[in-house]
Amino acid sequence: MLKSLRLYISFVQYRKRSIGMKNVSISEFRANLLKYLTLVQKGEAINVTSKGSLMATLNPPVGQQKAAKLQLDKLGTTAVINDVVSPGEDSWDALK
């Protein structure tokens, strides 16, 4: 009874980890490595399995979105926002 309970608990823990993740066999992962790394880079988590047992979990880089936002905020501090519809200080030949 204790052995079956441990087996059930380990199965439940495995299922909790794999919910919302794509499960891929090691051979499929090796054959299409670039495809799966691209998916991970875009934010998808992937479980790599061998004969049904979990070998590795690939997660997207932590803080990638935060780093992009910080870079955009930094750029925003140096940007000059003007009226883009009306002519600026320079005279345009089209207005003459």
Over residues 1-12, the pLDDT tens digits come to 556 656 555 555
> What local confidence, expressed as pLDDT, does residue 63 receive?
75
- 31 part of a folded domain: yes
Report the alpha-carbon distance of residue 7 to residue 72 in Å, rounded.
Answer: 49
CATH of the domain at 42: 3.40.1620.10
Output the average pLDDT for the chain. 76
* Unique residue bearing structure tokens 């925003």: 76
* Domains: count for the chain: 1
- 71 part of a folded domain: yes
Instruction: Report the predicted TM-score, pTM, of the whole model to 2 decimal places.
Output: 0.47
Report the alpha-carbon distance of residue 43 to residue 21 in Å, rounded.
Answer: 11
Report the alpha-carbon distance of residue 6 to residue 38 in Å, rounded.
Answer: 36
What confidence tens digit (pLDDT) does each residue in 17-49 have? 545 678 999 999 999 999 999 988 888 889 999
